[in-house]
Every structure is written in structure tokens, then in C-alpha cells.
Structure 1
């Protein structure tokens, strides 16, 4: 189903990002690893630049965790593509499951595919177990 969505994407930049995320998540096989039949996926955390630094990102994640708990999810997962979302998840007790440095992700000709500005250096797949 995810691959069908990817094929229909017209924005090449988003298609590259979501193809990478999909492939990484498939390879990690979290359902088998944690013996669950569902997991709550927190995707694309973004706060308008006029409101950054006020704790809104952290509050969004807290509320997402609450929704996950209310719906009996045992695990939440996030694909943290930037340093700020990574910092938020770490502060809320999320654990690093997998890290891919952007300088190491190259196309067929050896060119770096994603070149985010500092301080963004890697994609981190992070999880939190819910009790």
C-alpha cells in the first residue's frame, strides 16, 4: 500500500524522502522485532517559524503519545529527520533505534542525496515503549 502511494507522488523531493523512510522502516521490521501487530507512527513534526522555541513541538509529541496510549498502542515510532525533532524526542525519553548520516546516503554516482543545512546531520528512527 505504501509503495502504491510512493509511485503516485509527483513531488520528486518528497518522493525521495518517503522512499528512503519506507525502505528503512521495512528493513527494520519493527512489528516482528517488538512482537506487535500495530504501532503508532509520529510523522513530520513541524512548527511555524513564528512560534518556534515555545515548546509546541514537544507538546505535539506529548499529545501524540497520549492518543497512542488511549488507543492501546504499545509503541510509538518517529522518523526524526532534523536535529530539533531529535532533541525533542530524546527529551521525552525516546530511544534511538537506527541512525543514517546524510553524508553517507549517496546516489548511484556517489553524490550525497540529501544536503540539509547545519545542524541537521542525520535521520534517526526513534521509538518509545508505552506502558
Structure 2
């Protein structure tokens, strides 16, 4: 039996599915019209611009990433793994055609499959940074708790990992539209369900808005390492990670 492409290398194809960015800063006034926003599947030539975008507009605001007690800066191995799924056709970009196709939004997903938890833990052992290692362990804990494959009796799930909008466009439903575009992409790729692990209070509200159902919760205060240390300590209102699922009519 041929090994599925997304399991050929646990190191390169495992990506943490916890997170959605939401800035608490005041939104700037955009000089471009939102009705000229275009969504499309990101291509290989978009890699560098997408990577720069998520570092600047996602990881800096994502509650889990910026609340890690030992290092609040993005872990390079986390970023590289996450953006690598662009090459599998699982990234959506939003551009403003009235602003020279300015990149204003990005969403990236990754596959969940049988044996995913085991691969997460193997990848944690090989992680370059302690932050990525601890993040992978938390993700494995979440996956064991929710087990969406068994819950819905499916063999794979399209996990929407990253949703980020440019600050000038936040509050204009870019996040909701990125979710909807990812649902369409998931169906094109033959996925029966989509999921999202939201560490941001605001992204959880967006997930609810687009019709996703909450199937699991984990309070940050209740997750600790083997020494009893709370590794992730985000500020209010980000108090828990909520796992959402949406059934897709493939």
C-alpha cells in the first residue's frame, strides 16, 4: 500500500492546528475598497509573501504563540511547517485588486488523518525549538481529547489552522470569507469535514458565525507540563482553546 503524501514525512507535513490571529489594536482606515477583494488558492510563487504575511499579521497576535512563557516570538520551525502546506494546495489568499493586488488575507489548512496524534508526538521529539515542541504536545493533547475522525466516523479532516487579515481590513468580514473559501477548497479536495482549533476568543466567534459547531474546549489554565507549569498564559478574553467542526456536503 502506498503511503499517503501527507504522511511521507511527519517532520515536514505536521503542522500545529491551533490558532487564529486577532489584533486588539485599533483598526486603521483602509484607502482601498473591500468590494474588490479577490480570493484564490495560493501558488508556490506566493510562498515568500505568504510567509512574511503570517509572521507579521498572524503570529504576533495569535494568543497561544505570543503567550508562551519562555519566548513570545514566532518559532521558525512552526512557521515553516505551517506555510509548507501551501505547496499542497491548502492555502487561500485574499488580495485587493484596487490596490495593485495587495495581499490582505491568508488562510492555511492541513490534513488530520489516522495516526495523526502519533506523528505529532514524533515531530515533537525532533522539533528544533522548545516552543514548537511544547506546542505540538498541546496539539496532540487536543486531538486525543476531541478525536474528530472517530466522532464523525471519517478517515480525514481538513483542519483550518491559520486565518489572518491585514489590520487595515479587519472588521470587514475578511476572516469569515477566508473560512468560507476554505470550506469550498476542502470540498474540492474531497474532505468530508473541516475543523478549527481556536485559541483566540474572536476567531471562535467567527467560527460560530460561519456555522461551525464547538465540540471541545480546553482552558489554558488547565493545561500544564510534566512539572506543573502553565506554559501558555494569554490575556483575557483569550481563556481557552475551542475546537470547531463543520460537516461538508462533498
Which bracket does the TM-score occupy, shorter chain normalised?
Answer: 0.7 to 0.9
Match of 2:22 in 1: none
Q: TM-score, normalised by structure 1?
A: 0.86
Deviations 1:18-47 (A, max 9, x none): 211122213433222211111111112233
Q: What residue number does 1:81 align with? A: 199
Q: Sort the Cα spacing of 1:128 and 1:120 in 2 relative to 1 into closer, same or farther, 3 A.
A: same
Deviation at 1:83, TM superposition (A): 0.8
Q: How far apart, in 2, do the equivalents of 1:22 and 1:89 lie?
A: 21
Instruction: Say which is worse superposed, 14-23 or 66-75, in terms of deviation.
Output: 14-23
1:66 is paired with a residue whose SS is helix
Task: Pick the aligned partner of 1:21 from 135, 139, 146.
Answer: 139
Q: TM-score, normalised by structure 2?
A: 0.48
**Cα offset for 1:12?**
2.1
Question: Match for residue 153 of structure 2?
Answer: 35
- Alignment RMSD (CA, Å): 1.8
**Is the partner of 2:225 in helix, strand or coil?**
coil
Larger Rg: 2
Q: CA deviation at 1:50?
A: 4.0
Corresponding position of 1:45: 163
- Count, aligned residues: 131
1:91 matched to 2:209: yes
| Structure 2, unaligned runs of 5 or more | 1-118
Confirm or deny that 1:68 pairs with 2:178: no
Q: Does 1:126 pair with 2:244?
A: yes
Q: Structure 1 regions of 5+ residues with no counterpart?
A: none
| 1:115 aligned partner | 233
Structure 1 runs, 4 residues or longer, greater than 3 Å off: 48-51, 107-111
Once residues 170 and 128 of structure 2 are traced to their aligned partners in structure 1, the CA distance between those partners, rounded to angstroms, is: 30
Residue 218 of structure 2 corresponds to 100
Q: 1:79 to 1:4 in 2, by over 3 A?
A: same
